[in-house]
Amino acid sequence: MKNSYISRVRRKLTLPHDKKKEVMRDLEDIFATAKERGESEAETISRLGAPDEYARETEAAFGVDGARLRRKRLAVVAFAFAFVAVVALAFGVAAGYGVQRIPEGAIGYAEAMTDIEVEGAGFDVYAAALGAGSVAACAAIALGVAATVTRKRRE
């Protein structure tokens, strides 16, 4: 119960690493002191409040606007996905530009069918780049929508 509470607080905190370690040590001390006084873990958790609430109060005590920082991180991740999408799509288009499609069953640049069979088409860079670009673009759009919805909810 205690460990679950502390790990949820740790995930919710948006403090620098050293400050976060300090808060985790303080929480361990709070639970240890409460146990010495005969308080159960459930009572201690009830006294501290929900992990989200505790994290927000702790960030406020350190002068950190956690919600703003989380939105900023989300925007950076969305931008990164958008950048990857543009690069992958551009690479995919460049890889496919001017590629002469050879008729199935043809060897090299033969203009007619041959009796030679070719096994394994190999790896298609064009399709892989377009697929990666499409996935990254969808992720960027989803993150952008999530950031907008989150911001509007807070307002």
Coil vs helix vs strand at 103 = coil
46 and 121 together in one domain: no
Tokens representing 5 are 């509470």
87 and 148 together in one domain: yes
pLDDT at 115: 67
Which residue has 């509470």 as its token pair?
A: 5
pTM score, two decimals? 0.50
d(CA 83, CA 108): 36
Q: Looking at mean pLDDT, say which of 14-18, 28-32, 105-109, 146-150 comes out highest.
A: 28-32
Average pLDDT taken over every residue of the chain: 79
pLDDT at 30: 92
91 and 126 together in one domain: yes
82 and 51 together in one domain: no
7-16, 48-57, 61-70: least confident range: 61-70
144 and 79 together in one domain: yes
**What range does the domain containing 46 cover?**
2-61
Tokens representing 133 are 């670009």
